[in-house]
C-alpha cells in the first residue's frame, strides 16, 4: 500500500502544482526585504524559503512516483467531461457552494434571522428533507434560537 495511493493522475497534477507553487514561493522569499546585518538569517523570507524547499522535495517525490505509475497520461475526452458535468454530484456541489456564497453575500445586508432562515429553508427544500411546513418550522426556529442565544444572551457579534 505504501507509496501507492491508487491515483497516479491526481498525484501527477498535484505534484506539478506543488513544484510550480513552491518554486514561486522560493522566488518570493528570496526577494523579500532583509533587515539588519544578519541578512537572510533573520529575514522574513527565511522560513518560507526553508519550507518551500521542503515542499519542493515532497512535490518532486510525488512527481517521480506518479511518473513511474504513468500518471502523466491524461485521458481527457469530451464525453467524460460531459458526463462529469451532467452528474448529479456536480450539480449538487455547485448548488451547495452557490447558496453558501449567496448566503455570505447577504449576511450583514439582510437581518441575520431572515437570511439564515431562508438559507436553511432553501437547502432543506432543495434536498427534499421534509414537507414544507416542517421545513419552515425548522428553519425559522433554528435561525431564531441561534440569533437569540448568540446576540442576546452571550453578546457574541453576529454578521
Partner 1 sequence: MGFVYLIQETVALLTPMDLLYCFVAVQLGIIFGMLPGLTATVGIAILTALTFQWDPGNAILVLIGVYVGAIYGGSRSAILLNIPGTPASAATCLDGYPLSRSGNAAQALGLATTASFLGSMAGLVALSFLTPVLGGFALEFKSYEVFWLAVFGVAICGNLTAAGDPVKGWVAGLLGIMLSFVGMETIQGFRRFTFGVSELMAGFGIIPVLVGTYGIVEILSSLSDTTPEQRVPQIGRTLPHLRDVAANWVNIIRSGVIGVFTGVIPGVGENIGSFVAYDFAKRASKHPEKFGKGSIEGLIASETGNNAVVGGALVPVLALAIPGSPPAAVLLAALFLHNIRPGPMLVIENPMYMYRFSAMFLLASFAMFVLGILIVKPLLKLLMIRKSIMMPIILVLCMVGTYAIAGRPFDILVMIAFGLLGYPMRKLGYPEAPFVLGIILGPMVDENLRRGMLLSYGNPAAFFVSPISIALVIMTFFTLFGRTKALRSVFSIALRPLRSTMRSVGRTFGLLRRNGNSMPPSTDDEDDRRRRQSEEETRL
Partner 2 sequence: MSRGVRVFLVVMLVSAVAVVSLFAAGAREAAPDAEWSPSRTITIIVPWGAGGASDQTARVLASEMEGILGTRIAIVNQPGASGSTGQKSAFDARKDGYTWAGNADASVATYQVLDYTPEISHRDWQAYFAIFTPCVIAVNPDSPITDWDSLIEAFETRSVDVASAGIGAGGHIAAEAFAGNLGLSYNHIPYGGGNPAVVATVAGETEVVMQLSMEVADMLRADQLRAIAVLDNRPLQISGVDEIPAVTDFAADMPSVGFHFGLFIPKDIPPEAAQTISAAFETASQSEAVRRLAEERGSVAVSVQGSEADQVMEQAASMFGWLLYDSGVADNSPEQFDIPRP
- Distance CA(4)–CA(139), nearest Å, equals 45
Determine if 41 is a binding residue for partner 2 (CB under 8 A): no
- Distance CA(136)–CA(11), nearest Å, equals 45
The option from partner 2, partner 1, none interacting with 148 (CB < 5 to 8 A, set by class) reads partner 2
CA 87 to chain centre: 21
Sequence-distant (≥ 6) Cβ neighbours of residue 93 within 8 angstroms:
none
Q: Is residue 32 classed as helix, strand or coil in its secondary structure?
A: coil
At 87, give phi and psi (nearest 5°): -65, 150
Comparing CB distances to partner 1, the nearer of 3 and 78 is: 3
Phi-psi region of 77 (alpha: psi -120 to 50; beta: other; left: phi over 0): beta
Answer for which of 50, 54, 85, 145 binds partner 2 (CB under 8 A) is 145
Query: CB of 147: closest distance to partner 1 in angstroms?
Result: 9
Site for partner 1 in 91-130 (CB under 8 A): 92-93, 96-97, 100-101, 103-104, 107-108, 116, 119-120, 123-124, 127-130
The option from partner 1, partner 2, none interacting with 42 (CB < 5 to 8 A, set by class) reads partner 1
The option from partner 1, partner 2, none interacting with 137 (CB < 5 to 8 A, set by class) reads partner 2
Answer for which of 41, 75, 88, 156 binds partner 2 (CB under 8 A) is 156
Amino acid at each position: 500500500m505504501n507509496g501507492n495511493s491508487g491515483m497516479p493522475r491526481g498525484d501527477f497534477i498535484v505534484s506539478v502544482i506543488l513544484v510550480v507553487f513552491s518554486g514561486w514561493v522560493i522566488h518570493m522569499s528570496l526577494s523579500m526585504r532583509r533587515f539588519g546585518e544578519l541578512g537572510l538569517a533573520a529575514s522574513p523570507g527565511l522560513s518560507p524559503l526553508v519550507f518551500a524547499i521542503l515542499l519542493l522535495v515532497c512535490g518532486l517525490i510525488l512527481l517521480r512516483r506518479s511518473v513511474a505509475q504513468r500518471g502523466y497520461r491524461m485521458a481527457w475526452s469530451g464525453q467524460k467531461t460531459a458526463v462529469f458535468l451532467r452528474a448529479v454530484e456536480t450539480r449538487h456541489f455547485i448548488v451547495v457552494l452557490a447558496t453558501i456564497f449567496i448566503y455570505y453575500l447577504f449576511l450583514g445586508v439582510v437581518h441575520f434571522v431572515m437570511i439564515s432562515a431562508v438559507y436553511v429553508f432553501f437547502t432543506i427544500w432543495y434536498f427534499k428533507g421534509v414537507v414544507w411546513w416542517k421545513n419552515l418550522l425548522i428553519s425559522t426556529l433554528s435561525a431564531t434560537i441561534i440569533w437569540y442565544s448568540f446576540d442576546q444572551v452571550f453578546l457574541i457579534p453576529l454578521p
